[in-house]
Amino acid sequence: MNLQECTDAIRAKVGDSSGLDAVLKFDCGADGQILIDGVSSPNTVSNEDGEADCTVEITLDNLNNLLTGKLDPVTGFMGGKFKVSGDMSIAMKLQRVI
């Protein structure tokens, strides 16, 4: 999946109310970013860059694997497949969403 396809997949999973109650960003480096605004009602998912309560630095390939279930979130984090900065509890809530 490219960045837009990942954005669409995340948008479908998040829906109108993700339960995150925060802003989370997937930072895919040069490939772009995906911003989940879990504060707005309804929740929004975009490719805009912005401030986030929690940022997940991840490659686009690893994000694809995460979204398709090929990469377990805990295993990926412990194995260094992605880094989380900011409020870790938001990343934990995200696990239930995707």
Q: Are 87 and 25 in contact (CB under 8 A)?
A: no
pLDDT by residue for the chain (98 residues), tens only, comes to 999 999 999 999 999 988 899 999 999 999 999 999 999 999 999 999 999 999 999 999 999 999 999 999 999 999 999 999 999 999 999 888 88
Structurally, at CATH architecture level, domain 3-93 sits in: 2-Layer Sandwich (3.30)
Q: Are 24 and 49 in contact (CB under 8 A)?
A: no
Q: Looking at the whole model, is its pTM more than 0.85?
A: yes
| Cα 17 from Cα 19, distance rounded (Å) | 6
Residue 75's pLDDT is: 93
The ranges assigned to domains in the chain are: 3-93
| Cα 96 from Cα 21, distance rounded (Å) | 13
